[in-house]
Amino acid sequence: MSILGELSEEEVEFVKLVSDGNASAVRKQLDDKTVRVDCLDEHGMTPLMTAAYKGDVTICRILLKHGANVNTNYHAQGYTTIMFAALSGNLETTQLMLEAGARTTATNNVGRTATQMAAFVGQHQCVSLINNFFGKDDLEIYTVPRGHATEAMLPTELCDPLYKIILNSNLHPVKISYLLQENIAIMNNSTKVCKLMDLLCKKQMTARVETNEILAIKFHYISTVIKEAAKSLEIKQDNLEAWIKRMVRGRAEDGFCEDQERLIRSMLKDFPYSSSGLLQQCVRTIATVKVGDDPTALVTLGQCINGQRMARDEDLPCITCGDYGAPKKCSACKMVNYCNQGCQKNNWSSHKKMCKELYCMYLATKKRDEEEAAEAARKKEDEEKKKLEELSGGDVQAIEGAEASNGTLENGEEKGMNETSEARTETEDTSPIQLEDITTGIDDVTMES
């Protein structure tokens, strides 16, 4: 191992190349073996830490390929590569560090883990990626028969699709069901897959080194969704259509998805390790909430597994499957978002009962927003008038200056407003989910907006 700050001349250049993002030069130096891949600068930073912090996926890959150690701990503040990756918010580099075997439980000098640090700076996707990480190798081992068994627990062709479900951080049962629909072979082997999920759950809870309650609950949850979906599939033989509709079906009085709520509540009740702290935390939260009130069991489960997530305006979730950043919205009420027409269609029989009511809410909100905007504009105008009146007592140049700057400001604002409204029409234009299209053939309710 190199000693802190003792860099050769080549290594000083190497560190700079990494920092500058010069991938080809970095590769050349490593290939020429003129530098140590884990050389340390005066702060105990390795080149991999620098590249991870910069979110430079290419250089991270090169360094790892040349044997960079993902778990060095010579950093002055005790930071590790996964901490730098998570702080940078780059999902790809974070994933790379995980795949390279980064220890997620390592703490810095003040006792913070990578996920705690990432959560602190608002990198919630990195937090959920780390919390949900499960190595591909840990699944692949089940595709070969073990011990005296003649048959593997997991058919090889199911490894990739199942791994995708395990890594998926959107816990909405419809999202999981979509992933199952994509690979219906999982459903055809549901007994085997559930048995494996239950075993993996048990392994997480009984691990000698460290238990992982997050993964254990997740495996148990995936197993539950598959088992329940399989029951529906057995009766309907319909590629899970009826199951998905059931999961989004809203009750008559308020559109609340009761079946979904009950699925998650009973899943938690059935979790075999009742002493789990995370489970108890989940159950305690849910126990005080009446079915139909907030937070839903899904939200609570998501917070336990993925951590607190700050909601941002731009990533509105799809009302059907819960994927963030759903680009389309119901053109009738403009109040619910969808990934695509498929998601809208699955939700339509529930949504049609609420759409009109939501549209009234939309109009009321819009009216209020407009009134507020008008009021703000009026206030601003008054203030400007007042300012001008005050200034008119001063010298002419000052007035001219004020007028000129007011002019540009207004123009700028006007332009900005135009841009927004243009952008808005554009999104609406590119996303015209014509509800009318969906109504025909499904139901004879006509939508008036």
Quick one: 50 or 177, whose CB is closer to Zn ion? Answer: 177
Going 144 to 145 to 150 to 154, the CA torsion angle's sign is negative
Task: Report the nearest approach of Zn ion to the CB of residue 351 (Å).
Answer: 6
Quick one: 39 or 321, whose CB is closer to Zn ion? Answer: 321
Phi, psi for residue 107 in degrees, rounded to 5:
-120, 155
Is residue 433 at the binding interface for Zn ion, with CB under 5 A as the rule? no
User: How many binding residues for Zn ion (CB under 5 A)?
Assistant: 10
- Strand, helix or coil for residue 54: coil
Is residue 171 at the binding interface for Zn ion, with CB under 5 A as the rule? no
The first and second tokens of residue 394, run together, are 């001063």
The correct pick among 93, 115, 169, 320 for binding Zn ion (CB under 5 A) is: 320
Is residue 339 at the binding interface for Zn ion, with CB under 5 A as the rule? yes
Task: Report the nearest approach of Zn ion to the CB of residue 303 (Å).
Answer: 20
Contact 153, 192 (CB under 8 A): yes
Q: How far is CA 176 from the centre of its chain?
A: 14
328 forms beta bridges with 338
Phi, psi for residue 71 in degrees, rounded to 5:
-115, 30
The first and second tokens of residue 147, run together, are 């011990």
Task: Report the nearest approach of Zn ion to the CB of residue 81 (Å).
Answer: 34
Task: Report the nearest approach of Zn ion to the CB of residue 118 (Å).
Answer: 26
Q: Using CB under 5 A, which residues numbered 279 to 318 contact Zn ion?
A: 318
Task: Report the nearest approach of Zn ion to the CB of residue 186 (Å).
Answer: 20
Size of the chain in residues: 449
CA 42/CA 9 separation, integer angstroms: 14
Quick one: 229 or 330, whose CB is closer to Zn ion? Answer: 330
Q: Which of 118, 109, 2 is closest to 52 using CA atoms? A: 118
Place of tokens 């699709």: 161
Task: Report the nearest approach of Zn ion to the CB of residue 356 (Å).
Answer: 8
**Contacting range for Zn ion; rule: CB under 5 A; set: 34-42, 272-280, 353-361, 371-379:** 353-361
Quick one: 98 or 330, whose CB is closer to Zn ion? Answer: 330
**Contacting range for Zn ion; rule: CB under 5 A; set: 27-35, 190-198, 271-279, 348-356:** 348-356
338 forms beta bridges with 328
Place of tokens 């062709």: 157
Is residue 59 at the binding interface for Zn ion, with CB under 5 A as the rule? no
330 forms beta bridges with 433
Is residue 332 at the binding interface for Zn ion, with CB under 5 A as the rule? yes
**Contacting range for Zn ion; rule: CB under 5 A; set: 52-60, 268-276, 280-288, 336-344:** 336-344
Is residue 330 at the binding interface for Zn ion, with CB under 5 A as the rule? yes
Quick one: 119 or 257, whose CB is closer to Zn ion? Answer: 257
DSSP string across 120-158 = HTT-HHHHHHHHT---HHHHHGGGS--TT-SS-SS-GGG
Task: Report the nearest approach of Zn ion to the CB of residue 362 (Å).
Answer: 9
Quick one: 403 or 436, whose CB is closer to Zn ion? Answer: 436
Quick one: 123 or 296, whose CB is closer to Zn ion? Answer: 296
C-alpha dihedral, 419 to 421 to 427 to 430, nearest 10°? -90
CA 281/CA 304 separation, integer angstroms: 8
Is residue 355 at the binding interface for Zn ion, with CB under 5 A as the rule? yes
Is residue 321 at the binding interface for Zn ion, with CB under 5 A as the rule? yes
Measured from the Cβ of residue 149, the count of other Cβ atoms closer than 10 Å reads: 9
The correct pick among 154, 343, 433, 438 for binding Zn ion (CB under 5 A) is: 343
The first and second tokens of residue 125, run together, are 């996707």
Is residue 333 at the binding interface for Zn ion, with CB under 5 A as the rule? yes
Is residue 2 at the binding interface for Zn ion, with CB under 5 A as the rule? no
CA 423/CA 419 separation, integer angstroms: 6
Task: Report the nearest approach of Zn ion to the CB of residue 120 (Å).
Answer: 30
Which residues contribute to the site for Zn ion (CB under 5 A)? Answer: 318, 320-321, 323, 330, 332-333, 339, 343, 355
